[in-house]
Structure 1
Amino acid sequence: MAPTSYDQQAVDISWGWQVISSIIGWIYFLAWSISFYPQAILNYRRKSVQGLSMDFLYYNVLGFTCYSIFNVAFFASKEIQEEYKERNNGSANLVRINDVVFALHALAISSFTLSQTFYYKRSSNQRSSLPARGLIWLSILGAFLVVLAVKSGNALWIDLMYYLSYIKLGVTIIKYLPQVWINFRRQSTVGWSIHNILLDFTGGFLSVAQLLLDAYLSGDWSGVSGDPVKFGLGFVSIFFDLLFMTQHYILYRDRTDYYLNTVDEERRRLIAEGRVPRDDEDYV
């Protein structure tokens, strides 16, 4: 039977929303991807990473390693896709190619930013904390144990993927806390790029919007519950981005950066000679 004009109109509307969803996906991909560059560029311009949390950088690398494995597996592994369908009433997962590209790109740039801490200036006490190192090694140990469970037949590979996604979600929840504390202690956001935050906020908002729109169009909200990491990441990012914007634009408005101000060459010389207070030692 030929489709009625009403049916055709519904198809056209649905197709139009799918195009909008795809556009939203690529915009959030670009916003989130570009958001990693301002911090790396700022570090390069200052030739210093003072003011930047080391814990944040290590958490970022761990989180995006897990997130990359999760997205690549969900997008490319037939075995993972079938296991997902078995657990979600035959529904396909909502991981898109832009999710995969974003995760791999984020891992690369996060690793590069971490590498900057090894050759740019930092304070003598600026290092990763013991709790952060402990959490990272515990996460790796947990992944190893899940792999053993899969090999022994007590779990499926999708269980490992979910474990990695929960590490990413957990890392995202806590990774900003050290930077929030550093900004509070120093009463300054110098060394921490606000452009990173503005772009991250845009990406987080659009990521949640795309996921909800896709679930609505498919009439299957299990896509939201089946991909909790993407849903949770968006809301957590939005919360912390708003907090950082409050710190930067409202609470700590004096953002003089001596490392970018060429007029202060004399001040730097005096600091080196110990003739003026070295307030940049608080940039941990």
Structure 2
Amino acid sequence: MASWNSIPLEIIYQVLGWFAFVSWSISFYPQVILNFRRKSVVGLNFDFVLLNLTKHSTYLIYNASLYFSSAVQKQYFEKYGYDQMIPVAANDVAFSIHAVLLTAITLFQIVIYDRGTQIVSKISLTIVIAVWIFAAICFFIGLSSHSWLWLISIFNSIQVFMTAIKYIPQAIMNFLRKSTDGFSIGNILLDFLGGLANYAQMVVQSIDQNSWVNFYGNIGKTLLSLISIFFDLLFMLQHYVLYPGKRPTVSQKADDESREALITPPDRPQSEDV
């Protein structure tokens, strides 16, 4: 495997990688904390969380396999050349593990906190089931042919697909409610910084190696950054420009108030602090 030609560039690469890890990892906490404080997940799209869990799970499989498996690395070098570097860094693996855990916690909050009238859509459930059935079929094909690089590339492609669609339900929900209330913008800002740092990390490696193989050799990581940045900009536009400080629409407010009335004891005024 190729080694670094420039020590300063290697240091910058590591700094950018762990900065992306910290930004992306911390980005999960504002939503978790917001849910905990409100004891409610109203405003957070459940499809987004479910699709996100599948996305991060498949990304973890890809990152961990390419980073730890010598068999997968051997097939990567045979395809792209032994003078190339593995395009997955330790921070990628660490982020994936953390992302799966925090997304699972958010999903657990959806189960235990006030959900209002929100449910997971049948479309998202169908997509998730279909994706894992497809992944299982590919697993047995790869197992029989020992095509490990092809197999993890399938998981990488799945995570790109899930990244492309996971933001859409939340963006549509914000549009319909004309509000981002209940959806943490802190999550988006940190995700945006992580995406920029992740992309910059790949640029630094390409400059040092005088090769852009790591971009198309790990197209999933490239698209992950670009798609995330695009939707982050969209959410920032919704939060700060289109619906700044706006509460949900009248129909949504009425629905929220009716739920509060149901859980408020009849012998106490609804305005009284609990």
What range describes the TM-score normalised by the shorter chain of this pair? 0.7 to 0.9
Name the residue aligned to 2:235.
244
Query: Deviation at 1:271?
Result: 5.0
Structural mapping, 1:97-112, within 5 Å: 97-112=90-105
The corresponding residue for 2:77 is 85
Alignment RMSD, CA only? 1.8
Q: Which residue matches 1:123?
A: 116
Which digits, 9 at most, give the CA deviation of each residue in 1:167-211, with x for residues without a partner? 111111110000000000000000100000000000001100101
Q: Distance in 2 between matches of 1:58 and 1:268?
A: 27
The 1-side partners of 2:257 and 2:51 are apart by 32
Note the 1:27-176 alignment, pairs <5 A: 27-90=19-82, 91-124=84-117, 126-153=118-145, 156-176=147-167
**Which consecutive residues of structure 2, in runs of 5 or more, have no partner in the other structure?**
249-255, 264-274
3-state SS in 1 of match to 2:227? helix
Aligned to 1:25: 17
Q: Which amino acid aligns with 1:169?
A: V
CA–CA separation in structure 1 for the residues paired with 2:221 and 2:168: 20
Per-residue Cα deviation, 1:99-148 (whole angstroms, up to 9, x for no partner): 10000000000000011011100123x11111111111111111111122
Residue type of the alignment partner of 2:17: G
Deviations 1:26-58 (A, max 9, x none): 111100010000000000000000001111000
* 1:264 equivalent in structure 2: none
Alpha-carbon distance in 2 for matches of 1:271, 1:54: 21
- Shift of residue 150, structure 1, vs aligned partner: 1.9
| Residue among 199, 209, 217 paired with 1:226 | 217
Structure 1 residues without counterparts, runs of 5 or longer: 1-10, 258-266, 275-284
Q: Is the 8 A contact 1:70 1:161 kept in 2?
A: yes
* Gap change, CA 1:149 and 1:193, over 3 Å in 2: same
Give the match's secondary structure for 2:176.
helix
Residue number in structure 1 paired with 2:267: none
Q: Which residue of 2 aligns with 1:261?
A: none
State the match for 1:272 in structure 2: 261
Secondary structure (helix, strand or coil) at the match of 1:17 reads helix
Equivalenced residue count is: 251
The one-letter code matched in structure 2 to 1:34 is I
TM-score under structure 2 normalisation? 0.88
**Contact 1:93-1:227 at 8 Å conserved across structures:** no
Q: TM-score scaled to structure 1, two decimals?
A: 0.85
Kindly report structure 1 stretches of 4+ aligned residues shifted beyond 4 Å.
Answer: 267-271
* Greater C-alpha radius of gyration: 1
Distance of 1:166 and 1:122 partners within structure 2: 32
Which residue in the other structure is 2:252 paired with?
none
C-alpha distance in structure 2 between counterparts of 1:110 and 1:235, whole Å? 21
Distance (whole Å) between structure 1 residues aligned to residue 222 and residue 100 of structure 2: 19
State the alpha-carbon separation in 1 of the partners of residues 225 and 81 from structure 2. 25
Contact 2:178 2:246 in 1 (8 A): no
Distance of 1:53 and 1:69 partners within structure 2: 25
Query: Aligned partner of 2:41: which letter?
Result: V
